C-alpha cells in the first residue's frame, strides 16, 4: 500500500488570505495542507484548493515532509501564541514556523527567543498585497532565524510578485524581528501615502469644487507620470463608481470615518522610542483618530469659527500645483520611513538591506509605485544614505516641488481646510534643511526650570546657569 503524499507546507488559519496563499502555492506546484478550528473553513479550503484539511494540528504536522514548514495566517496577538503552544508538541528541532500576520515586531522578538530554546526556527514574514496579492503575488518580507531561509526561499519566492525586471519581491530582511519591522514601516508609509492622497482629493473637492468624475480623470492622469502607483490607480477607480440605487457617486455616500489595525500607530510609537522624526506618518494616524469623533466634529462645525472658502485663480493650474505638492509630500513620507529603518538597524544590528527593501516593495504590495525604483537606485549608489532627500535625484525632486507644497499648504490654511499630512511634510522638510533651529531656547528653558544643563557653541562641556540670580533686565 502506497504511503500518503507528504505536503511541502501547511497553512494554519484558512481565512481569505490563508486560502488565497494556498491557491498560489498550489499553482506553483507545491503540495499544501491547511488547518482551521472552523470546520466550515476547512471544508471550503478542501473544496476550493483540492488540498488536505486535517481535523487536528497533530495530523497536520504528521503529513508534512521534514523539516516541516508551517505558515500561520491567524490574527496577530494572543491567537499566534495559542497556535504556537498547541503546535509545539508535534514539532521537532529544525522545523520552521512562519508568522505571516501583521504582528508587532516586539512580539516576534519574544517568540524567536522562546522557540530558539527548543530548536524550532521561527520566521516573522510581512506579507503585503491584500487578498488579490495573496492569490496572484504579494510582496513578502521574511526575517528571523537565518537557518530557515535556504529552506523557505524557494517556497516564498515562487509565490511572490515579480518586479518589471523579473526579480521576485521577496528577499531576506535580516535576523530577529527584521521582517515584521520592515512590514510595520511599510504600513506606516502606507498610512501617510493614503492620507496625502485623501488630502489632495479634499483640496480639489472643497477648494476647487471638482466632481468625483473630474477628480478621477486627474488621478488617472497622475497615474501615468511620476506619481504612478497602486494607490493612485485605485483612487482614480474609486472616484468613477456610482451607487446603483441613488445614482450618486459612491464616495459621497461613504461615512467620513476611518478605522485602523494598529501598524501605523506602532510605526509612530517606534519613531518616538528610537528618536526618529516621522511626523507625516504620525499625522496620518491622528487623521484617522480625529475622523472617528464624527459627532463632535459635527457639533464643532456649528460652534468654531473659520474662514470662508474661496478660490481665485486658474483651477487647472492649481491642480498641477497639487500634483507637485503631492510628489514632495510622498518623498518626505518615504524619507521618514527609511529613517525608521535606519534607526532600527543601528539599534538592533539587523543589517537591513535598504536597496533590497525598496526593490521588494516595487510590486505586489500596497505602496508599490514608480518612485520605488528611484529609491532602490539611491540606496544602491549609497547604502549608508543618511536621508533619502540627500540623494541627488531626490534633492532635485524637492528643489522642484517644495514651492508647490508651500503654495498648497498656504492655500489650505487661508481657507480653513485640514491637510495635516501635507503640512507636516513641509515642516519636516524645512526643519531638516535648517542649519539652526530654536532648540537653543528650549535648552535654556529646561535648564531654567529643571537644571537640566545646556551646551554652548563656543566651548565644550555642559553648563548650568542660576537664571533667577543672574537675570539681566
Residue pLDDT, tens place only, 359-386: 999 999 999 999 999 999 999 999 999 9
Binned at pLDDT 50, 70 and 90, residue 468 comes out as: confident
Per-residue pLDDT reduced to its tens digit, 297-335: 999 999 999 999 999 899 999 999 999 999 999 999 999
Residue of 185, 208, 202 lying closest to 278 (CA atoms)? 185
Binned at pLDDT 50, 70 and 90, residue 471 comes out as: low
- Taking CA atoms, 416 is separated from 272, 285, 299, in Å, by 29, 20, 17
- For the chain, helix, strand, coil in percent to 5 are 55, 10, 35
Q: What pLDDT does residue 4 have?
A: 60
Per DSSP, the three-state class of 5 is coil
Average pLDDT of the segment spanning 60-82: 93
In this model, does residue 1 exceed pLDDT 50?
Answer: no
Binned at pLDDT 50, 70 and 90, residue 5 comes out as: confident
For 241, phi then psi, to 5°, come to: -75, 135
Distance CA(134)–CA(154), nearest Å, equals: 16
**Which strands make up the sheet holding 69-72, listed edge to edge?**
32-35, 9-12, 69-72, 96-99, 121-128, 139-144
Q: What pLDDT does residue 470 have?
A: 57
Q: What pLDDT does residue 41 have?
A: 92
Q: What pLDDT does residue 3 have?
A: 44
Q: What pLDDT does residue 43 have?
A: 92
Determine which of 17-21, 55-59, 200-204, 467-471 has the lowest per-residue pLDDT on average.
467-471
In this model, does residue 88 exceed pLDDT 50?
Answer: yes
Average pLDDT of the segment spanning 274-293: 96
**And the C-alpha cell for 29?**
506546484
CB 337 within 8 A of CB 189: yes
Q: What pLDDT does residue 262 have?
A: 79
Sketch out the chain's domains with CATH numbers.
9-176 (3.40.50.720), 183-432 (1.10.1040.10), 445-473 (1.20.5.320)
DSSP string, 297-361: HHHHHHHS--PPP---S-HHHHHHHHHHHHHHHHHHHHHHHHHHHHHHHHHH-----HHHHHHHT
Average pLDDT of the segment spanning 69-87: 94
- Taking CA atoms, 128 is separated from 65, 73, 134, 205, 263, in Å, by 27, 13, 8, 31, 12
Determine which of 35-44, 178-187, 223-232, 252-261 has the lowest per-residue pLDDT on average.
252-261
Q: What pLDDT does residue 2 have?
A: 39
Per-residue pLDDT reduced to its tens digit, 202-238: 999 999 999 999 999 999 999 999 999 999 999 999 9
CB 72 within 8 A of CB 83: yes
Q: What pLDDT does residue 50 have?
A: 83
Distance CA(449)–CA(467), nearest Å, equals: 9
Determine which of 41-45, 235-239, 250-254, 353-357 has the lowest per-residue pLDDT on average.
41-45
Q: Residues with catalytic annotation?
A: 183, 190
Inter-helix orientation angle 178-206/279-291, to 10°? 60
Q: Partners of 43 in the beta sheet?
A: none
**And the C-alpha cell for 374?**
528611484
In this model, does residue 99 exceed pLDDT 70?
Answer: yes
Q: What pLDDT does residue 263 have?
A: 86
For the chain, the average pLDDT equals 94
Binned at pLDDT 50, 70 and 90, residue 450 comes out as: very high
Binned at pLDDT 50, 70 and 90, residue 27 comes out as: very high
Distance CA(71)–CA(106), nearest Å, equals: 19
Amino acid at each position: 500500500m502506497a504511503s500518503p503524499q507528504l505536503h511541502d507546507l501547511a497553512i494554519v488559519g484558512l481565512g481569505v488570505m490563508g486560502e488565497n496563499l494556498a491557491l498560489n502555492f498550489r499553482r506553483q506546484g507545491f503540495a499544501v495542507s491547511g488547518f482551521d478550528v472552523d470546520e466550515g473553513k476547512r471544508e471550503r479550503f478542501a473544496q476550493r484548493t483540492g488540498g488536505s484539511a486535517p481535523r487536528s494540528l497533530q495530523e497536520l504536522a504528521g503529513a508534512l515532509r521534514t523539516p516541516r514548514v508551517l505558515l500561520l495566517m491567524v490574527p496577530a496577538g494572543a491567537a499566534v501564541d495559542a497556535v504556537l503552544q498547541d503546535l509545539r508538541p508535534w514539532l521537532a528541532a529544525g522545523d520552521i514556523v512562519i508568522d505571516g500576520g501583521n504582528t508587532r515586531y516586539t512580539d516576534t522578538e519574544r517568540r524567536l527567543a522562546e522557540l530558539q530554546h527548543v530548536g524550532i526556527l521561527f520566521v516573522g514574514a510581512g506579507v503585503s498585497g491584500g487578498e488579490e496579492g495573496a492569490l496572484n503575488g504579494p510582496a513578502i518580507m521574511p526575517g528571523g532565524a537565518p537557518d530557515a531561509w535556504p529552506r523557505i526561499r524557494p517556497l516564498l519566492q515562487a509565490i511572490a510578485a515579480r518586479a518589471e525586471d523579473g526579480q521576485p519581491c521577496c528577499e531576506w530582511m535580516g535576523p530577529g524581528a527584521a521582517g515584521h519591522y520592515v512590514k510595520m514601516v511599510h504600513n506606516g508609509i502606507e498610512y501617510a501615502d493614503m492620507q496625502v492622497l485623501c488630502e489632495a482629493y479634499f483640496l480639489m473637492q472643497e477648494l476647487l469644487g471638482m466632481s468625483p468624475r473630474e477628480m478621477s480623470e486627474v488621478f488617472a492622469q497622475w497615474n501615468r507620470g511620476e506619481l504612478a502607483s497602486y494607490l493612485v490607480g485605485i483612487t482614480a477607480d474609486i472616484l468613477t463608481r456610482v451607487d446603483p440605487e441613488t445614482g450618486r457617486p459612491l464616495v459621497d455616500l461613504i461615512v467620513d470615518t476611518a478605522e485602523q489595525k494598529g501598524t501605523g500607530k506602532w510605526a509612530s510609537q517606534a519613531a518616538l522610542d528610537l528618536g526618529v522624526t516621522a511626523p507625516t506618518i504620525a499625522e496620518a494616524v491622528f487623521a484617522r483618530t480625529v475622523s472617528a469623533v464624527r459627532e463632535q466634529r459635527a457639533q464643532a462645525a456649528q460652534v468654531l469659527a473659520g474662514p470662508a472658502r474661496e478660490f481665485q485663480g486658474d483651477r487647472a493650474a492649481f491642480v498641477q500645483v497639487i500634483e507637485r505638492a503631492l510628489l514632495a509630500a510622498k518623498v518626505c513620507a518615504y524619507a521618514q520611513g527609511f529613517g525608521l529603518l535606519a534607526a532600527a538597524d543601528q539599534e538592533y544590528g539587523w543589517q537591513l538591506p535598504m536597496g533590497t527593501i525598496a526593490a521588494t516593495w516595487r510590486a505586489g504590495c500596497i505602496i508599490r509605485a514608480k518612485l520605488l525604483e528611484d529609491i532602490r537606485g539611491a540606496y544602491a549608489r549609497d547604502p549608508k544614505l543618511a536621508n533619502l532627500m540627500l540623494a541627488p535625484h531626490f534633492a532635485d525632486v524637492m528643489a522642484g516641488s517644495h514651492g508647490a507644497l508651500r503654495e498648497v499648504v498656504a492655500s489650505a490654511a487661508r481657507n480653513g481646510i485640514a491637510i495635516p499630512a501635507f503640512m507636516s511634510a513641509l515642516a519636516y522638510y524645512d526643519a531638516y534643511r535648517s542649519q539652526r533651529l530654536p532648540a537653543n531656547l528650549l535648552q535654556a528653558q529646561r535648564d531654567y526650570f529643571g537644571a537640566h544643563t545646556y551646551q554652548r557653541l563656543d566651548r565644550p562641556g555642559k553648563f548650568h546657569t542660576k537664571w533667577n540670580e543672574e537675570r539681566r533686565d
